[in-house]
Amino acid sequence: AQSVSQHNHHVILSEAASLELGCNYSYGGTVNLFWYVQYPGQHLQLLLKYFSGDPLVKGIKGFEAEFIKSKFSFNLRKPSVQWSDTAEYFCAVNAPRRYMDTGRRALTFGSGTRLQVQP
Amino acid sequence: IAGITQAPTSQILAAGRRMTLRCTQDMRHNAMYWYRQDLGLGLRLIHYSNTAGTTGKGEVPDGYSVSRANTDDFPLTLASAVPSQTSVYFCASSEQGAIDEQFFGPGTRLTVL
């Protein structure tokens, strides 16, 4: 079954530290990839997305992610985190799913990574 | 308003009761979705609708039903709530279906006792 794995469940960093959150997916075909962020008490917002082209994608707030097809990965990075980056981060993959109508795709989310940035 | 609104913000419900969670979008998006968010499980798709008048089952549809009478509204109904349906429920929409970015509502926190 298609799945999305986020290996880091809880990450604690100091301000100015570099961040890399892992995301791996299991679907072998063409995929669209997303990172969403959920700040405390708020709804999910899109950080960045990859559909095609340059595998290094830049998003909002200094975040970027690299799609490595051979590794089925889409890791999220930020060179220097801030206290305001404290949030939960979700990787999501858009791929065909067995419960959808034929040819239709659905977003599958990873379990999330809680990032805590200490001042 | 701009975006997606959900109501209620939170609700405590006795088991066995019927409950409808409301979702309205003003972006004229074709596709709408209902997810539940549970700790350690991320978001799981309950039901979806690719366009007004059509609905489909997602990954965890049991115990839930939806309707899509028009473009803007996509209510989620729990016919007879059970404690395992305690969760945070998010409604989302996208313009062209699942190939597109999804926009999320603020969520409804539901507790079933």
Q: What average pLDDT does the structure give for chain A?
A: 90
pLDDT by residue for chain B (113 residues), tens only, comes to: 569 999 999 999 999 999 999 999 999 999 999 999 998 888 999 999 989 999 999 989 999 999 999 999 999 999 999 999 999 999 999 987 656 788 999 999 999 99
Residue A1 has pLDDT above 60, yes or no: no
pLDDT for position B108: 96
A43–B44 CB contact, under 8 Å: no
- Per-residue pLDDT band at A2 (split at 50, 70, 90): low
Nearest to A8 by CA among A119, A117, A118, A115: A115
Q: Which of A32, A44, A111 sits opposite B90 (nearest CB)?
A: A44
Q: Which of B40, B98, B105 sits opposite A104 (nearest CB)?
A: B98
Shortest distance, CA A68 to any CA of chain B (angstroms):
20
* B60-81 per-residue burial string, b: 16 or more CB within 10 A, e: under 16: bbeebebebeebbebbbebeeb
